[in-house]
Structure 1
């Protein structure tokens, strides 16, 4: 029999995906250890896992996949072919509709274009304290996108204005913002999107206490410290206007001990029935709320209080780590408003997580 790790490796599915498909009743392991809960699969289930992976990549709904796997196991080729053909027709119809809508949107964008000067400038040079830039990059790196379909989010925004440098990353579901002091930049506001490999190379150089030199020359970005330097091309995309996204309505605030809250999340319940997919990958949901006395409770499955907030648990754990403080502030508005994670001593560095709507 195959362990869940072996099945994930050989079947082209992640371990979390296999757990999700087990809970969904799509690909159920042959045996589950009653003590450890560890899943084991029969050898013949590998073919089903590979088929499932292909169908999911093709965007087939789980309900149809369940029927395809049943037909496949029963050698009902007519059923399988019929389901495949029906899904392909839906995809073709959806693509036709999408092309029409995007054609209209492009026309609207053309109409809205204006001759305002871009925030990109020909040249900018400034000094940044190495520890501050290192801390800023550590704060936002986890939120950067790795989706090849969204190249404009595949980097970290360096937003230079006055004597402040803001660094920003987002993958649509979460966003992180941090700042560092600068000197030497006397020009107008300047923005440049630094690709992730270059941002990581910059971070590797930030080991000292001295100031480093950051330079932007058109689409070329470099960082110099002592006799070491790293440089590369910026991303040729405009970054979303993050400033419009960070003005949140006032909400409830709760100071949390980071280690205690992390342990509550890691050992607490997840909403198995609320497990969703994000960019084709399943994820676990943590649900919590702030009580009247300001404490935070991680809720169980039966708790349906209207003030409960649900978020991707893995994203929240990443945000707690990036916060890099023993105590953090959770700021919650409505259950559908972004959750903010702030530092008590530096509220200019924070993360935003998009909530997930709970189904009644």
Structure 2
């Protein structure tokens, strides 16, 4: 007999997936301990679990997976073959439709790029306090993307509007926003994406208390601090409209003591999931449970559900959560939770304009 953890390791299905398929009646354990509720699987179920994992990766609907497994166990090869062929035709039709839609989207993007290129950046010159800009850069740089296939996210957006400078970075799974006040510019809104290495060079200049000067001219952006300068080309890509992404549903708020919460996240349990990094290695997930009274705890895969009161249950990438807590640069931070599928927002209690957001990870159980 295999435990659920052993079955997960041998089959390629996560523990949460095995629980889900047990509840769905697709792969039911051979025996469940009546006291602990722990699941055990028979030797013959390993082949079924591996088959299930392959069908799952191929995107087969649950109803069809159930029929394939039934046909497999009864040696009904004709039924299995027909179900596989039907699903393959469905995938091919979906791919053809997706190609048509993407072809249309590419054409729309090309027309939009031509329009935007003709409206490219005007000259901008402004002053900003060095400590403010340093704090803003520290609050957002961690969230920039390192994916070469997404060059538009490989930097920090400098969004200049009136006497306000917003810095934004995102890699799609997390986003960070910070604000700094400016003087000396009253023109139209301008946006440039500063490459991450140049943003780092700018941060290195911000060691004093004086005002520094930011300039955008043509395709170049420069920061001057005294007689020192960091300058270079900004990225020739349009940044996503982050203002649309920061609208999250109302929910509950929890104030956390950051050092204690960081330790709880670092040393607490991780849950199983299918999230992988760019190198293909699995990412550790932290499961957060939050009650309406503002209590947040780090839970594990096997922890019992709280009883007697409603709660929000959200899984996030553990490393991303630790990065966001460190970038918050406060002993106390506010965590905001909406629906389980909404981003988790991490704010400074004394600065609502500086925050980061983490996308939740869907658990299947």
Same topology, TM > 0.5: yes
SS at match of 1:223: strand
Equivalent in the alignment of 1:352: 357
Equivalent in the alignment of 2:141: 141
SS at match of 1:238: coil
Return the alpha-carbon distance in structure 2 between the equivalents of residues 316 and 166 of structure 1.
22
Return the alpha-carbon distance in structure 1 between the equivalents of residues 162 and 199 of structure 2.
22
Return the alpha-carbon distance in structure 1 between the equivalents of residues 199 and 126 of structure 2.
17
> Could you tell me how far 1:218 is from its partner in structure 2?
1.6
- Given that 2:121 and 2:219 are in contact with CA atoms closer than 8 Å, whether structure 1 keeps it comes out as no
> Could you tell me how far 1:347 is from its partner in structure 2?
0.8
> Could you tell me how far 1:227 is from its partner in structure 2?
0.8
Equivalent in the alignment of 1:328: 333
SS at match of 2:243: helix
Where structure 2 has 5 or more consecutive residues not aligned to the other structure, the ranges are: 1-6, 13-51, 56-87
Equivalent in the alignment of 1:337: 342
- Given that 1:126 and 1:214 are in contact with CA atoms closer than 8 Å, whether structure 2 keeps it comes out as yes
Aligned CA distance change for structure 1 residues 109 and 226 (closer, same or farther; 3 Å): closer
Return the alpha-carbon distance in structure 2 between the equivalents of residues 222 and 336 of structure 1.
40
Return the alpha-carbon distance in structure 2 between the equivalents of residues 340 and 129 of structure 1.
26
| 1:277 correspondence with 2:276 | yes
- Given that 1:285 and 1:312 are in contact with CA atoms closer than 8 Å, whether structure 2 keeps it comes out as yes
Aligned CA distance change for structure 1 residues 157 and 247 (closer, same or farther; 3 Å): same
Where structure 1 has 5 or more consecutive residues not aligned to the other structure, the ranges are: 1-21, 28-60, 65-88
Return the alpha-carbon distance in structure 2 between the equivalents of residues 132 and 220 of structure 1.
22
- Given that 1:120 and 1:190 are in contact with CA atoms closer than 8 Å, whether structure 2 keeps it comes out as no
> Could you tell me how far 1:278 is from its partner in structure 2?
4.2
Aligned CA distance change for structure 1 residues 104 and 304 (closer, same or farther; 3 Å): farther
> Could you tell me how far 1:330 is from its partner in structure 2?
0.2
Return the alpha-carbon distance in structure 1 between the equivalents of residues 190 and 143 of structure 2.
22
SS at match of 1:198: helix
Equivalent in the alignment of 2:161: 161
> Could you tell me how far 1:281 is from its partner in structure 2?
3.8
- Given that 2:315 and 2:361 are in contact with CA atoms closer than 8 Å, whether structure 1 keeps it comes out as yes
Equivalent in the alignment of 1:127: 127
Aligned CA distance change for structure 1 residues 183 and 154 (closer, same or farther; 3 Å): same
Return the alpha-carbon distance in structure 1 between the equivalents of residues 290 and 301 of structure 2.
17
For the aligned residue pairs, the C-alpha RMSD in angstroms reads 3.0
SS at match of 1:133: helix
Return the alpha-carbon distance in structure 2 between the equivalents of residues 244 and 123 of structure 1.
27
SS at match of 2:183: coil
- Given that 2:252 and 2:292 are in contact with CA atoms closer than 8 Å, whether structure 1 keeps it comes out as no
SS at match of 1:136: helix
SS at match of 1:131: helix
> Could you tell me how far 1:104 is from its partner in structure 2?
2.8
Count of residues paired in the alignment: 282
SS at match of 1:282: coil
Return the alpha-carbon distance in structure 2 between the equivalents of residues 201 and 262 of structure 1.
29
Aligned CA distance change for structure 1 residues 169 and 119 (closer, same or farther; 3 Å): farther
Equivalent in the alignment of 1:256: 256
- Given that 2:174 and 2:359 are in contact with CA atoms closer than 8 Å, whether structure 1 keeps it comes out as yes
Return the alpha-carbon distance in structure 1 between the equivalents of residues 118 and 348 of structure 2.
32
Aligned CA distance change for structure 1 residues 232 and 108 (closer, same or farther; 3 Å): closer
Tell me the TM-score normalised to structure 2 length.
Answer: 0.70
| 1:311 correspondence with 2:316 | yes
Return the alpha-carbon distance in structure 2 between the equivalents of residues 95 and 117 of structure 1.
32
Tell me the alpha carbon deviations over residues 48-100 of structure 1, each in whole angstroms, 9 at most, x when there is no partner. Answer: xxxxxxxxxxxxx9859xxxxxxxxxxxxxxxxxxxxxxxx99xx79877644
> Could you tell me how far 1:102 is from its partner in structure 2?
2.0
Larger radius of gyration: 2
Return the alpha-carbon distance in structure 2 between the equivalents of residues 153 and 113 of structure 1.
17
- Given that 2:291 and 2:312 are in contact with CA atoms closer than 8 Å, whether structure 1 keeps it comes out as no
SS at match of 1:315: helix
Tell me the TM-score normalised to structure 1 length.
Answer: 0.71
Return the alpha-carbon distance in structure 1 between the equivalents of residues 134 and 119 of structure 2.
24
